[in-house]
Structure 1
Amino acid sequence: MLELRITGRDFTQPVLGGIATVVEAGDRICLLGPSGIGKTTLLNAIAGLDPVVSDSAIIGRRALRIGYLFQEHRLLPWRSLTANIELVGVSPREAEEYLARVGLAGYGHYLPDQLSLGMARRAALARCLAIKPQLLLLDEPFASLDPVMANELKQLIVAILDANPAMAMICVTHDGGDAATLANRLWYLDGKPAQLLWDGATEEQGLVESLLETLRSPERAD
């Protein structure tokens, strides 16, 4: 589906080092690492939002439909939810169907500012789904949500992935619990410049927390 051959990315100083890996259909990847290490930078490169990272570094991207759920919902505040989703090329009826799919049936006429943060993120997720993505990118989708709203959104994403088994996902998060719920594969980004210190499956019960404990330990850095 997607092959990464990133040789590096600098912002006046090195941020990303060499990153070489493959994303397959059905991969549910959670990307973890220390704050500020470059997780969003990597996600933006994969999405094609970084003009410095060439197409040759993200092989297969142009052939993919990619949905990107940003930390900010990025809905146009002067348009209704239905009108926001129509912008990706669906009909008003289809837009309402996507809203219903994320638990927002009947909210199509609302403006984004009339919603809670959790509801706005779900509306943005509906817009992502409307393009029928083959790869879903999520940048800290549960940040700033209370535990109840975060769990509701988490379970919604699980249900969407279960209903679309060929869809791949890369989710940036700081929480190992998110990875335990969402992921079948873990990426751990660290170092100066940052590299993937771990890229492996997470099927084994309890692997995520024990692995993260090892990766985050001061002794490992020494």
Structure 2
Amino acid sequence: MLELALTGEGAHPLLGRIVAQVSPGERFCLLGPSGVGKTTLLNAIAGLDPRVPGAAIRRRPALRIGYLFQEHRLLPWRSVRQNLAMVGAEASRIDRLLEQVGLRDAGDALPDQLSLGMARRAALARCLAVEPELLLLDEPFASLDGERARQMRRLIAEVLAAQPRMAMICVTHDPGDAEALASRVWYLDGKPATLQRDLRMSAGLLRSGG
């Protein structure tokens, strides 16, 4: 599905040598210190960082990627329903997506009329509207209070359970997110940053992985 082959030869100021692979159905949490380059790596995977050579990220042709950014990035002058329609979702599917993320009655609201938690769920619905094979999540629980973070974590877990071949990479600071969502954990550290550890989840525990 996806192969990372960053050489670490000065092509990017934050990222060093990173070699890894993502297969269908794998769920990663990407941990590391603040500012180390976790979001930068996620942007590189999405093809949004021009400083990363194109050959360094090899994606399966026509790979569908859904990206949930730290900010919801919904168009503020469009309703939630219109935001989903703009990525190609038909009316009947929009209703199902809004139901799925718990926003059945918020489709006609503008983004600024939503709470942060609701706006993030609307942005997740927009991601799902493209039927992603790879779901990228950048700090999806940041700035949410404890209960709303738990609700969002449970929602993402339900989405993943319903689509077992969907891969996920989630940037987070909380190892608890890995226990709830991940089958594998990458730990990024160093200057420039490299994958210091690649760990597999086993029965709620971490063990060394390849």
TM-score greater than 0.5 by the shorter chain? yes
What is the CA-CA distance between 1:125 and the residue it aligns to?
A: 0.1
Structure 1, unmatched stretches of 5+, are 212-222
What is the CA-CA distance between 1:192 and the residue it aligns to?
A: 1.1
What is the CA-CA distance between 1:52 and the residue it aligns to?
A: 2.1
Q: Partner of 2:116 in structure 1? A: 117
Q: How big is each residue's C-alpha offset from its partner over 1:26-73, in whole Å with a ceiling of 9 and x where there is no partner?
A: 111000000000000000000000122232111125431000000000
Which runs of 4 or more aligned residues in structure 1 lie more than 6 Å from their structure 2 counterparts after TM superposition? Answer: none
How far apart, in 2, do the equivalents of 1:62 and 1:77 lie? Answer: 32
Q: Partner of 2:87 in structure 1? A: 88
Q: Secondary structure at the match of 1:63?
A: coil
Matches within 5 A, 1:29-44: 29-44=28-43
Q: How big is each residue's C-alpha offset from its partner over 1:73-107, in whole Å with a ceiling of 9 and x where there is no partner?
A: 00001100000000111222221221111111121
Contact 1:46-1:61 within 8 A present in 2 as well: no
Moved more, 113-122 or 197-206: 197-206
Question: Is residue 34 of structure 2 the alignment partner of residue 23 of structure 1?
Answer: no
Greater share of helix residues, 1 or 2?
Answer: 1
Q: How big is each residue's C-alpha offset from its partner over 1:170-221, in whole Å with a ceiling of 9 and x where there is no partner?
A: 000000111111111000000111000111211143338xx9xxxxxxxxxx
How far apart, in 1, do the equivalents of 2:86 and 2:60 lie? Answer: 22
Matches within 5 A, 1:182-197: 182-197=181-196
Q: Tell me the C-alpha RMSD between the 2 structures.
A: 1.7
Contact 2:2-2:57 within 8 A present in 1 as well: yes
Q: How big is each residue's C-alpha offset from its partner over 1:128-154, in whole Å with a ceiling of 9 and x where there is no partner?
A: 000000000000000000010000000
Matches within 5 A, 1:38-53: 38-53=37-52
Q: Secondary structure at the match of 2:14?
A: strand
- Change in Cα spacing, 1:129 to 1:7, as seen in structure 2 (3 Å) is same
Contact 1:28-1:183 within 8 A present in 2 as well: yes
Q: Partner of 1:3 in structure 2? A: 3
Matches within 5 A, 1:59-208: 59-207=58-206
- Change in Cα spacing, 1:53 to 1:82, as seen in structure 2 (3 Å) is same
How far apart, in 2, do the equivalents of 1:122 and 1:102 lie? Answer: 6
What is the TM-score when the length of structure 2 is the normalising length? 0.94
Moved more, 57-66 or 17-26: 57-66
- Change in Cα spacing, 1:39 to 1:61, as seen in structure 2 (3 Å) is farther
Q: How big is each residue's C-alpha offset from its partner over 1:107-130, in whole Å with a ceiling of 9 and x where there is no partner?
A: 110000111000000000000000
Q: Partner of 1:219 in structure 2? A: none
How far apart, in 2, do the equivalents of 1:39 and 1:8 lie? Answer: 15
How far apart, in 2, do the equivalents of 1:29 and 1:10 lie? Answer: 26
How far apart, in 2, do the equivalents of 1:10 and 1:83 lie? Answer: 42
